[in-house]
Structure 1
Amino acid sequence: MKIVLGMTVLVVSFAVIFALLGGAEANHMLVFGLLLAVFSGLVTIALAATAKIQAMRASFEPTPALTENKSYSFSNTTALQNFPSEEHRELASLRQDLRALQDLHASAAFELAALKTHMRLCFDHVRYHEEITLPRALAGQAGAIIIAALLTLVGTALCALPDKAYLLAETINIWFAAGWQSIILWHG
């Protein structure tokens, strides 16, 4: 509703200005067309900046770091001395080293899973921003973008054909003046 009201007010105001320029002695349609084009360009720039600001306001909260499930194992090197032979001691030492490597592997696997989860969530945030936040910001400005595009088209037409636009505005101005005089005479 606001968009329709805004477009109506804008169209009526520019039509009145157009008709009033038809009553001027000199042809100012080129200047009016350029002003319309500049105004619509500034509106378009402002809308693009506003949409960008709205899109940047989308809150991105990085996922909290997952708590690492660390398991600690302590090797008892003094117990290695209790084995009867050197081979048994080396075998026990290798078992301890193997457990330590298994713990490191489990820790690395957990960190890799946590990193994959974090990356997936980051990509979900980016996709949400691209597919939802930015289009909503641009869709909220659709009416103003349409108005700016129409102003650009009208301004360009006025710049391309200022003499014909002046003759049209002069005719409309005469028509409005005659209509106004007939209303005054009818009520008077």
Structure 2
Amino acid sequence: MQIAVGITVMLVLTTVFVLLGLAEANHMLVFGLLLAVFSALVIIGLAATAKIQAMRATFVPTPAIAENKSSTFTNTTALQHYATPEHRELASLRQDLRALQDEHASTAFQLAFLKTHMRLCFDNIRYHEEITLPRALAGQAGAIIIAALLTLVGTALCALPDSAYLLAKTLNACLETSWQSIVRGGD
């Protein structure tokens, strides 16, 4: 699509250039300035469109992993049923050990969750850098190249309007001669 638009723009510009050779006055300076202004407007439009698209984009964070948390309850009243203080102390240490093991398991799960989340974030960043960003830039490359070429042609026409006018007159004379030879050859 962009190639077709580029070819069409170049054909239209070439036609206008040749037709300006038919004019009595030299309008190449105005044509060059119009090309430069048009190309600047195209680049401004592309930048504005990219900015609007960037503002519309929303970041969707990766969904949180459901934490499988188990609840354990300690029975502190059962400690009173032990006959000796040593047994009560041993039962209390067992309960503390179970609580520490549960806390360790919860911390290990949270660490695994954070590692997974970081990996997903880095994958999203890498995907954006390697796929999304190059595609976005490549999508506008053709229009930017055409706009830059229009700027160069417009600048050349502004710098050398008399030479461009003479070139357009010469091309026009060549086309007229070619057309007349085709018409005469067909009779």
TM-score, scaled relative to structure 1: 0.81
Q: 87-96 vs 74-83, which deviates more? A: 87-96
In 2, are the aligned partners of 1:36 and 1:152 still within 8 Å (CA)? yes
Question: Within the alignment, does 1:38 sit opposite 2:43 as a pair?
Answer: no
- Amino acid of the structure 1 residue aligned with 2:105: A
Q: Distance in 2 between matches of 1:117 and 1:53?
A: 32
Q: RMSD of aligned C-alpha atoms?
A: 2.9
| Offset at residue 14 of structure 1 (A) | 0.5
Give the direction of change, closer, same or farther, for the CA distance of 1:50–1:146 in structure 2 (3 Å limit). same
How many residues get paired? 187
Q: 100-109 vs 39-48, which deviates more? A: 39-48
Please list the CA deviations of residues 115-149 of structure 1 after superposition, one character each: whole Å capped at 9, or x if unmatched: 21012112211211221122123333443333222
| Offset at residue 49 of structure 1 (A) | 4.9
Partner residue of 1:99? 98
Contiguous gaps of at least 5 residues in structure 2: none
Q: Distance in 1 between matches of 2:55 and 2:130?
A: 14
Q: Distance in 2 between matches of 1:156 and 1:166?
A: 14
Partner residue of 1:147? 146
SS at match of 1:117: helix
SS at match of 1:140: helix
In 2, are the aligned partners of 1:51 and 1:134 still within 8 Å (CA)? no
SS at match of 1:169: helix
Q: 89-98 vs 173-182, which deviates more? A: 173-182
Q: Distance in 2 between matches of 1:87 and 1:39?
A: 92
Partner residue of 2:168? 169
SS at match of 2:111: helix
Question: Within the alignment, does 1:89 sit opposite 2:88 as a pair?
Answer: yes
| Offset at residue 52 of structure 1 (A) | 6.3
Partner residue of 1:115? 114
Q: Distance in 2 between matches of 1:141 and 1:27?
A: 34
| Offset at residue 28 of structure 1 (A) | 2.2
Q: Distance in 1 between matches of 2:103 and 2:157?
A: 75
Partner residue of 2:16? 17
Percent of aligned pairs with the same amino acid:
72
Contiguous gaps of at least 5 residues in structure 1: none
